[in-house]
């Protein structure tokens, strides 16, 4: 059995917001005898008093395995899409093990931080891990490049590549200054909090973006980390100029990076351009010899990506009915959609046959496999759906 408790408040005052959220949660718990919450996920806008919020949660639910982060927008089935709000999802179960762990110093030592987080989360588990949800810090390197790829590499090393990893990196409402992460009663700035699920848990997931590849496929001939120097032997900037002319590369035209020679791809967003070398720094690593393709978009296709993500997850769900839905959507999607951003949640709600508790946030990068049983990738501009249940 898995019971989900949900609270969401758009009160701008931290005390008022957490009181409203906890009142909603406690009210729902009154219908659930003798099974207290064992874990939770908190998504919060950047300007709240986060220490106060964690203190209040731990007074009502002492010792709960809680993780969370600040966001670029919050989502729930209570208030839909919001900004400047606070949402809390609590997990109650007598058959699912849910453990929290945290790694510190993730910026300088992401592999060590990942090992530390996984070790802490799994040391008291009696069954093997089936899912990892990470909510790591985002780092503003050379403008706003994150190290999500290194975080993911560390988690794969610690967990094994067969364990699905789904989540997103913390945000700060498009300020690109400081993000915060939450672990139990701690407010952190350079951390990797995770939840590990094991035992009687069923899950499925799907991804969707909406950007359409255009032009011919090309090969990355020179790259180092997040800096792409050459594609097909010409500078990255010259490659982009073939499509954009004098217009600078932006989030409107990310690269599709293909998984080997398959038709599956993840997105990489151009960040800064070095006009002297013609290189482009992306918001994530772009491997040498990777097959890439220019993309273009329109807002209707971006929204259609939400339906693709949800329908894929629903088709893959191995049970009869999920108990919870977690959503991770990219901040660039919210920015490009503008006033239509609220339609992402509305599309999810419309596609569901019945009400299911939903919680999520807008991230600075997403983690999800590209296919069922496949390896996890670090994404941008992608909408990720995660279904959880026991039946």
HSE-up (13 A, CA, CB side) for residue 230: 6
The average confidence (pLDDT) of the chain is 94
Provide the pLDDT for residue 30: 81
Query: Is it the case that residue 164 has pLDDT exceeding 50?
Result: yes
**Which is more confident, 31 or 342?**
342
Provide the pLDDT for residue 153: 95
**Which is more confident, 30 or 58?**
58
Taking only the tens place, the pLDDT of each residue in 251-297 is: 999 999 998 888 999 999 999 999 999 999 998 899 999 999 999 98
Q: Using DSSP, state whether 125 is helix, strand or coil.
A: coil
CB atoms within 10 A of CB 379: 27
Domain boundary among 262, 296, 330: 296
Q: How confident is the model at residue 331 (pLDDT cuts 50, 70, 90)?
A: very high
Q: Give 320's contacts (C-beta < 8 A, 6+ positions apart).
A: 391
User: Number of folded domains in the chain?
Assistant: 2
164 and 313 share one domain:
yes
121 and 190 share one domain:
yes
HSE-up (13 A, CA, CB side) for residue 216: 6
Query: Is it the case that residue 6 has pLDDT exceeding 80?
Result: yes
186 and 137 share one domain:
yes
197 and 252 share one domain:
no
195 and 330 share one domain:
yes
Domain boundary among 266, 296, 326: 296
Closest to 313 (Cα-Cα) out of 164, 209, 388, 205 = 205
Helices (H), the chain: 14-29, 50-60, 110-122, 148-159, 236-244, 299-316, 331-337, 342-351
Provide the pLDDT for residue 145: 47
Domain containing 80 equals: 2-207+302-389
235 and 347 share one domain:
no
How large a percentage of the chain has pLDDT more than 70? 97
pTM: 0.97
Q: How confident is the model at residue 144 (pLDDT cuts 50, 70, 90)?
A: very low
Domain boundary among 250, 279, 296: 296
338 and 356 share one domain:
yes
How large a percentage of the chain has pLDDT more than 90? 88
91 and 235 share one domain:
no
278 and 310 share one domain:
no
317 and 355 share one domain:
yes
Out of 23-32, 35-44, 118-127, 242-251, least confident range: 23-32
159 and 236 share one domain:
no
111 and 52 share one domain:
yes
């Amino acid at each position: 059995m898995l019971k989900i408790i949900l609270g969401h408040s758009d009160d701008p005052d931290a005390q008022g917001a957490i009181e409203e959220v906890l009142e909603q949660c406690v009210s729902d718990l009154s219908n659930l005898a003798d099974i207290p919450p064992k874990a939770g996920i908190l998504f919060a806008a950047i300007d709240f008093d986060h220490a106060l919020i964690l203190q209040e949660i731990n007074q009502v639910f002492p010792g709960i395995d809680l993780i969370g982060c600040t966001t670029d927008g919050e989502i729930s089935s209570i208030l839909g899409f919001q900004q400047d709000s606070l949402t809390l999802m609590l997990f109650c179960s007598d058959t699912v093990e849910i453990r929290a762990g945290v790694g510190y110093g993730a910026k300088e030592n992401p592999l060590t931080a990942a090992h530390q987080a996984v070790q802490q989360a799994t040391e008291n588990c009696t069954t093997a891990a089936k899912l990892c949800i990470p909510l790591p810090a985002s780092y503003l390197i050379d403008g706003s490049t994150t190290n999500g790829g290194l975080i993911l590499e560390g988690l794969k090393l610690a967990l094994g590549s067969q364990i699905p990893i789904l989540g997103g990196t913390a945000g700060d409402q498009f300020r690109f200054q400081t993000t915060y992460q939450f672990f139990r009663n701690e407010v952190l700035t350079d951390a990797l909090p995770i939840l590990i699920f094991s035992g009687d848990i069923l899950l499925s997931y799907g991804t969707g973006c909406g950007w359409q590849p255009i032009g011919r496929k090309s090969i990355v001939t020179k790259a180092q980390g997040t800096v792409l120097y050459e594609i097909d032997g010409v500078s990255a900037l010259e490659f982009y100029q073939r499509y954009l002319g004098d217009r600078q590369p932006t989030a409107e035209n990310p690269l599709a990076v293909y998984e080997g020679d398959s038709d599956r791809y993840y997105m990489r967003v151009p960040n800064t351009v070095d006009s002297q070398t013609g290189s482009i720094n992306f918001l994530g690593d772009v491997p040498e010899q990777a097959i890439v393709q220019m993309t273009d978009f329109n807002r209707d296709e971006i929204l259609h990506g939400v339906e693709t993500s949800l329908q894929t997850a629903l088709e893959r769900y191995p049970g009869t009915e999920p108990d919870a839905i977690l959503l991770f959507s990219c901040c660039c999607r919210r920015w490009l959609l503008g006033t239509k951003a609220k339609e992402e949640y509305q599309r999810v709600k419309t596609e569901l046959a019945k009400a299911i508790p939903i919680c999520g946030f807008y991230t600075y990068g997403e983690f999800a496999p590209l296919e069922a049983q496949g390896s996890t990738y670090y994404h941008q501009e992608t909408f990720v759906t995660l279904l959880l249940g026991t039946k």
